[in-house]
Amino acid sequence: DMSEVIRLLKRFSQDTENKISINDFLIFVVAKVLSEQPNINCSLAGEEIIYHRDINIGIAVSIEKGLIVPVLKNANKKSLPILSEETKNLIKLARERKLMPDDYQGGTFTVSNLGMYGIESFTAIINPPEAAILAVGEIKKIPAVIEEEGVEKIEIRSLMKMTLSADHRLIDGVTAANFLKQVKYYLEFPEQPVI
């Protein structure tokens, strides 16, 4: 349920010159959860599982003839406004074909967002040697049952689907589910990761 994120970002937009997008906030949340659950932030090198200290998030960007994945380095160490600014800059450089090799190497986890294309849900292919990728769909306004103080009511809410693809040689289903559960929690209660 992205309703609270949308409200929070509208408030941020009034307070700052830099407009923070939903994708920026999503990357910020993913970086926070990866720092809390480092067993997702891994890759396979031959037969060895490598757990990365750095959290370098790849951002899938559509360009004229395909797709490129620039990497936001040390995403967990950046404030939301800085992360937003750097993400926008990487996307701009990617679309202008001005990325340097270091800009698209060293990723430890990727976020692929097709919501802006009207795609409700999809399954993304893992970007080797990473062990997982998060696929993000469109936010749609849908009637939902909400319970407040023991009373159920129907409200129009902004809902979004996410799918996590994980390499089961490194990440089991429960570990993947716990990761998604925490991402979902921070998106539904967005003040938690910001504070």
* Enzyme catalytic residues: 168
| Total count of residues recorded for the chain | 195
Give CA–CA dist 96/93, Å, rounded.
Answer: 5
Q: Which residue is it, tokens 């800009």? A: 103
| Three-point CA angle 167, 34, 134, nearest 5° | 50
> Is 56 within 8 Å of 41 (Cβ atoms)?
no
Q: How many CB atoms lie within 10 A of CB 73?
A: 19
First to last CA, the chain: 20
> Is 135 within 8 Å of 183 (Cβ atoms)?
no
Coil, strand, or helix at residue 181?
helix
CA dihedral 189, 83, 138, 55 (to 10 degrees): -80
DSSP 127: -
Of 194, 154, 146, 175, residue with least CA distance to 24? 194
